[in-house]
Amino acid sequence: MSYSDELLFDNIDEPNLKSIEVYEQRGGYDELKRVLRELPPETVLNELQASGLRGRGGAGFAMGTKAGFLPKGDMDKYLCCNADESEPGTFKDRELMQKNPHQLIEGMIIASFAAGINKAFIYIRGEYEDQADVLEAAAKEAYDKGYLGENILGSGFGVSLVVHRGAGAYICGEETALLDSLEGKRGNPRLKPPFPANAGLFQGPTLINNVETLSNVAHITKMGGAKYAEIGTEKSTGTKLVSISGCVQKPGNYEIELGTPSRELLFDLAGGPLPGREFKAWFPGGSSSPVLTPAEFDLPYDFDSIAAAGSMLGSGAIIMIDDSVSMVDVALRTAKFYKHESCGKCTPCREGTSWTVKMLQRVEDGLATPMDLDIIESVCDQIMGNCLCVLGDAMAMPVSSMVKKFRPEFEAHIEAARLKRTPLDEATLADELNLAEMATSA
Amino acid sequence: MTPETTHLVIDALPAGYSSKPAGEPDRAAIVFTIDGAEVTAPEGLMLVDAAKYGGVEIPVFCYEPKLGAPVGACRMCLVEIEGIPKLQTACSTPVRDGMSVVTKSPRVIEAQNSVVEFILANHPLDCPVCDKGGECPLQDISYGWGRGKSRFTEPKRHFEKPVALSPSIAIDRERCILCYRCVRFSQEVSEDYQLVLLERGADAHVGTFDGTEYIAPFSGNIIELCPVGALTSRAYRFQARPWDIEQGGSVCAMCPGQCNVTYTVRDEKVMRVLQRDNHAVDDGWLCDRGRFAYQAWESEARITQPLVRQGDKLLPARWDYALDVAASALKKAGARSAALAGGGTTNEEGWLLRRLLIEGLGSRNIDSRRGGKLSADVARTLTEPDVTLSIPDVEWADAILVLATELVDEMPILDLRVRKAVNHRGAKLAVATARPSSLDSKAQITARFAPKAVDAFAQALLRSISGEDLGDLPTRAGADGEEIAAIAELLKGAERPAILWGEKVLYYAGGAAPAMTVANIVDKLGVKNTAGAGHLQIPVQANGRGLREIGFLPNLGPALTEEGDGKSSDEIAAALGDQINALILMGVDPMVDYPNGAEWDDALAKAGTVISFSTWLDGTAERHADVIFPLEVGPEKEGTLTHPDGRLQRLRQTVERAGEVNAGWWAIAQLAERVGLDLGVKVVHQITAQIADGVPIYAGITPEEIGGTGVRWQERAAAGNRPAPSRTTFDLPEPQAAAQPNGSLRLGTFRSLWGGGDVEHAATLAPLVSRTRVELSPADGERLGVNTGDEVTLNTESGEVTAIVALRDSIPTGSAFLLDSRDDGVRRAVAGSPALVEVVK
């Protein structure tokens, strides 16, 4: 890495950094005080835009631009911090919230100041109980110190903060489903437009950003947007937290400069494959990103390079797959997850994910033919781009990529699994396939 | 391709949209391209609708504009729009000038094929045994936009099927394609909030949250909204296939709402009732009573032949005999006869009955309402076109006051229109009633007054609007002065205020004072020259307005001209057996329909001959009628009705009359002949023609002109024939003060949608008929030591009755509301309108 300083993970393991005393000893909230004292909101917004910071939740949309979409005016405006980190393989926000909650809160206050927001929420996934406890305690500390609430530090600016726990649904990480859930409704994605910037939470202007994105805010204003933009590549600025998991020697969260060669992350930071194993495939950005192969290890790890290779950087979660793992298993496991998490609102996702799982299960069980692989690819194609939100695509993209790139392995698996079936299994075949039903549904 | 912005005269106006309501904004015309053709359409329409202007059909499942904002869930309507990389849902994309849309490219066809394939993946192909088969949008779209074969070979999803969602509705969750329409209806249109989506993903299914039955006033609409056979009518299930049936359009005459309906007929029987979308009347919805009460028409209990009383028995009789008995009594009584009309009595029936009494018998004792006589000025003022509203006007009003009426029980369909006005048109709502209203939750201001104190309340509101001191009026009304002032501000601040008020108050008040106050309020608001502002009277009787306007009143003739000085209904009651010797009841039963039913019971016991046109053998028919003629039910009837907003509508006969039933007008003509009067009618249209001749405001109207969607007389040239009122404001009598409870409770009454013969004899509605119930506030419940479900005795100065307690949070402490039904005990207890009631455990 050419940029060797850590930003978000600076002192991350310092004992009790989560307390406001330690955070302040480290200079925490100084930036907030400076911003409120010295800078008008437009300047802060300009700095955020100049930084080129792209959203760290998955979509990679420029944060400053998004904040600039909020209409001016006197109405209630909302900031929702998306802490529903639920993309399989992603666990960076968890560490940020657990160990340095005030970095997030300070960032949220400054972002609210920049966009004229007066009501802020952290929507945290229900499973993150400990982290939610930490955030609630931190929010209380910040209120007690006067960093939250009315008229913060006598600046005239005020913002409230509520930590809201979700009930455990992947779909609530989708920004509009998050809003519905936060409003107390069933967490289903909304039709866009209108976009949240215009009609979001309670139909008010709403800015939604990921934990990591907001944790960057205070660092950006402190060093200046232009300076921040020098880190990383031209279009992928800054550092990125990468959660590396799967078949590697040293799984964990790493902060890297965007644009670092992928090989460096996988071999130097994560220690490479387990002894005696070789990497076979990797998800570069969470389980919804199309898989890449070892041929792509030299890609710079940034938004555009990964996209150019036909995948996406997503939330920055790298899952490594080695030669001990069956791609059929990976595809089935991935599809099952999205089938289980599909909200059921739109047709292609609801029916397509469930159909794909059924077909992959037959592949797994040796009850499929290579023709079924064509149907899987076709079903995935029909899901992609045709759904209400991106959950359907999140299954179709990786599954389709696995079938395309590892077709010989799938075909070999079908043949091997078929041969493994005993004659007794064959006898139950009719039952499993429910032939009677096939006849009526043909 | 930027044409000048013009205001379109849209060719395809929604049905019944004879004129655009004042509040509805104009839409400019835009030009866009669809499948290569340039098309002009109104700006802002969703592409699905705009495409129709170019003759292009885009298939949809979840899209239904009546349900509010599109949800884009089914993905059936994906189209290609130039400049947008992804396919877009045409249901949620507003058309814009210069837009270029493709609906037939390989890419779009592939997406349409795929969505059909996805939807059919888990849809059982049991069309041959499915009620929807043959009239199923899913079938049509599968043929039109599907691939014709499926590659889905997996086991389908299974649910227990079908299960009862309610007594009236069955749900088959396997057939459900999760389009959300029913859930959105429940959540966003009727706002009963009962239907929800349970589970998620492929396991998602529709149900109620805790599995309780879906009981709601408008629940049946979800059957028609369902684009597949998932929601079916339990009464209609397996009764007919689409190729066995015929459809006949008519109008429901069970309440003043007069919703347009389609009767599904098989072998001369009504098999079901469907909506017939008329934006100007019903917006395409029906209440469950209108939808399911048809089952009662086939019930054994219905009277289908004439009955004549012999001794203490009612015996079946031939028509000739029954007519002879009735006619000789009428002839004998002559000018000492009287007639009351109500309910769904058509203009034609009312017209002939009026002629029979006036010309045949020399009697002017006819009435179609209660509460004394309306002066010509009051009656005319209340119908002046300048200050009365159409139904679409209500939708586009910017402030609505619901005064002394519970719409969901008295004109259910208007309840939905008020919700639409609030939810989608930005109207602000105030509700002022004695009993808490189902619209309270939509209201910006709710005001309560003491039961029977509407007069004092309305006068206080008038004073507040005039900026006068309210004095002790709020106290007399048992109301809050600040709430009154807030309503006054709301109405004064509005451009197009609308006041919806129940004629019922005149029935109870025994005078026209509340109506005069409404007239004064409208005058004071100064909206005479503002289109779309004014008031709408909710009549008690389904055709109350028509009967008044053809002159079925003791003191007023056609078009509310001053004519005669007969006895009003109350005077008739007092004169029975003395000055009145024969009484005809046409579609009205004063023992049941009037609040002083018990007094009528006593009066009728003294009557000479009572001739009743009845459907059910109950009330007056059972106890007092000497001759009973069977009454036609809705689909057997031909004639016209006048909607509360002045729209003349046509009833069309769609089935043969049951048993010995004959047309009501025919029976009246026969009676007339027997008393020596030739009414000159052989077919019903001759009567319509007589009305067109004899009622100046309906001059020249023909059934053809009324057509399938009706016509408002105010919008015809003949409206100029109306006699103007000589004054439009009135001196108001001093209002009575509400009774002081002093330990007992103020007594109010209410009627429920779920009552009457039509409901009691319909198999799937009968379970909804409530036992006699009294609603109390929790505080009074605690004070009296009673809880919901307890049985209590109610003592009034008139009598006592047993009732079941229902504690409701929103009932004001100090008041009790008794469900008014034809139960004898209730009729006795409320006789004479007692102000107070004692509740004893």
Q: Specify whether A97 is located in the same domain as A197.
A: yes
Asked if B74 and A346 come within 8 Å (Cβ–Cβ), the reply is: yes
Task: Write down the pTM of the prediction.
Answer: 0.93
Q: How far are the Cα atoms of B533, B571, B610, B755 from residue B599, in angstroms, in the given order?
A: 40, 12, 16, 21
Q: Which of A219, A270, A289 has its CA nearest to residue A60?
A: A289
Q: Which of B145, B174, B290, B315 has its CA nearest to residue B232?
A: B174
Q: Specify whether A83 is located in the same domain as A134.
A: yes
Hey, is the C-beta of A184 within 8 angstroms of any chain B C-beta? no
Q: Which of B528, B491, B496, B282 has its CA nearest to residue B396?
A: B496
How many residue pairs from chains A and B have C-beta atoms closer than 8 A?
Answer: 111
Helix (H) or strand (E) segment spanning residue B263: strand B260-266
Q: In B417-426, which positions are buried (b, 16+ CB within 10 angstroms) versus exposed (e)?
A: bbbbbbeebe
Q: In this structure, is residue A6 part of a structural domain? A: no
DSSP category for residue A269? I
Q: List, in sequence order, the alpha helices (H) in B235-318.
A: 288-292
Tell me which of A322, A338, A373 is where a domain ends. Answer: A322
Give the long-range contacts of residues B714-717, CB within 8 A, separation 24 or more. B714/B385, B714/B388, B714/B646, B715/B18, B715/B19
Half-sphere exposure of A385 (CA within 13 A, CB side): 15
Cα gap A201→B261, rounded to integer Å: 41
Q: Specify whether A283 is located in the same domain as A213.
A: no
| pLDDT in the model for residue A281 | 98
Do B234 and B170 touch, CB atoms closer than 8 A? yes
Residue B743's region, left for phi above 0, alpha for psi from -120 to 50, else beta, is left
Tokens of B738: 């509400």
Nearest to A355 among B87, B89, B152 (CB): B152
Cα gap B206→B166, rounded to integer Å: 13
Closest chain B residue by Cα to residue A384: B86
Hey, is the C-beta of B17 within 8 angstroms of any chain A C-beta? no
Closest chain A residue by Cα to residue B198: A186
Hey, is the C-beta of A194 within 8 angstroms of any chain B C-beta? no
Tell me which of A181, A208, A229 is where a domain ends. Answer: A229
Q: Specify whether A194 is located in the same domain as A179.
A: yes
Question: How far does B63 lie from chain A, in Å, by closest CA?
Answer: 13
| pLDDT in the model for residue B9 | 38
**pLDDT tens-digit readout, A84-130:** 999 999 999 999 999 999 999 999 999 999 999 999 999 999 999 99
DSSP secondary structure, B428-495, as one string: EEEEEESS--TTGGG-SEEEE--TT-HHHHHHHHHHHHHT---TTHHHHHT--HHHHHHHHHHHHH-S
Give the long-range contacts of residues B51-58, CB within 8 A, separation 24 or more. B51/B90, B51/B101, B51/B103, B52/B12, B53/B12, B56/B103, B58/B90, B58/B91, B58/B103
Q: In this structure, is residue A7 part of a structural domain? A: no
For tokens 């929420």, the residue is A121
Asked if A347 and B196 come within 8 Å (Cβ–Cβ), the reply is: no
Cα gap A82→A57, rounded to integer Å: 8
Q: Specify whether A225 is located in the same domain as A243.
A: no
CATH of the domain at A259: 3.10.20.600
Q: In this structure, is residue A15 part of a structural domain? A: no
Q: Specify whether A216 is located in the same domain as A362.
A: no
Tokens of A96: 């940020």
The crossing angle, in degrees rounded to 10, of helices A407-420 and A370-383 is: 130
Q: Specify whether A390 is located in the same domain as A309.
A: no
Helices and strands of chain A, counted as H and E runs: 20, 10
Domain count, chain A: 3
Which residues fall within 8 angstroms of residue B376, CB to CB, at 6 or more apart? B555, B556, B560, B561, B562, B723, B725
In Å, how far from its chain's centre is CA B667?
28
Q: In this structure, is residue A420 part of a structural domain? A: yes
| pLDDT in the model for residue A427 | 60
Cα gap A148→A156, rounded to integer Å: 12
Q: Specify whether A99 is located in the same domain as A183.
A: yes
Domains and CATH numbers, chain B: 307-370+543-707 (3.40.50.740), 376-538 (3.40.228.10), 745-840 (2.40.40.20)
Which chain B residues have a beta carbon less than 8 Å from that of A368? none
3-state secondary structure of B680: coil
| pLDDT in the model for residue A5 | 74
SS (H, E, C) A386-440: CCCCCHHHHHHHHHHHHHHHCHHHHHHHHHHHHHHCCHHHHHHHHHHHCHHHHHH
**B76 burial via Cβ count (<10 Å: 0-12, 13-18, 19+):** buried
3-state secondary structure of A228: helix
Q: Which of B113, B154, B187, B188 to mutate to test the interface with A (most CBs of A within 10 A)?
A: B154
**pLDDT tens-digit readout, B138-183:** 999 999 999 998 999 999 999 998 999 999 999 999 999 999 999 9
Q: In this structure, is residue A12 part of a structural domain? A: no
Helix (H) or strand (E) segment spanning residue B667: helix B664-674
Q: In B310-325, which positions are buried (b, 16+ CB within 10 angstroms) versus exposed (e)?
A: eeeebeebebeebbbb
Q: What letter represents residue B371's amino acid?
A: G
Query: What are the residue ranges in chain A where pLDDT is below 50?
Result: 1-2, 436, 439-442
| Domain limits for position A167 | 20-229
Q: What letter represents residue B109's amino acid?
A: I
The sign of the CA dihedral A319, A323, A329, A335 is: positive
Closest chain B residue by Cα to residue A360: B154
Nearest to A344 among B114, B196, B202 (CB): B202
Query: What are the residue ranges in chain B where pLDDT is below 70?
Result: 1-19, 509-510
For tokens 């599904």, the residue is B264
Q: List, in sequence order, the alpha helices (H) in B205-263.
A: 221-225
What is the value of ipTM here, to two decimals?
A: 0.92
CATH of the domain at A332: 1.20.1440.230
| pLDDT in the model for residue A422 | 65
Asked if A386 and B87 come within 8 Å (Cβ–Cβ), the reply is: yes
Asked if B204 and A355 come within 8 Å (Cβ–Cβ), the reply is: no
Q: Specify whether A290 is located in the same domain as A208.
A: no
Hey, is the C-beta of B121 within 8 angstroms of any chain A C-beta? yes
Q: Specify whether A317 is located in the same domain as A333.
A: no
Q: Specify whether A31 is located in the same domain as A169.
A: yes
Question: How far does A350 lie from chain B, in Å, by closest CA?
Answer: 5
Q: In this structure, is residue A1 part of a structural domain? A: no
Half-sphere exposure of B41 (CA within 13 A, CB side): 26
Cα gap A215→A138, rounded to integer Å: 14
Q: In this structure, is residue A436 part of a structural domain? A: yes
Tell me which of A204, A229, A254 is where a domain ends. Answer: A229
Tokens of B651: 């009833």
Q: In this structure, is residue A8 part of a structural domain? A: no
Which chain A residues have a beta carbon less than 8 Å from that of B72? 191, 346, 388
Hey, is the C-beta of A343 within 8 angstroms of any chain B C-beta? yes
3-state secondary structure of B65: helix
Nearest to A344 among B119, B125, B178 (CB): B178
3-state secondary structure of A240: strand
Asked if A352 and B87 come within 8 Å (Cβ–Cβ), the reply is: no
Helix (H) or strand (E) segment spanning residue B208: strand B205-208
Q: Specify whether A146 is located in the same domain as A29.
A: yes
Q: Which of B128, B124, B129, B133 has its CA nearest to residue B159?
A: B124
Asked if A388 and B76 come within 8 Å (Cβ–Cβ), the reply is: no
Q: How far are the Cα atoms of B155, B246, B290, B413, B636 from residue B282, in angstroms, in the given order?
A: 43, 22, 12, 6, 22
CATH of the domain at A158: 3.40.50.11540
Do B100 and B79 touch, CB atoms closer than 8 A? no
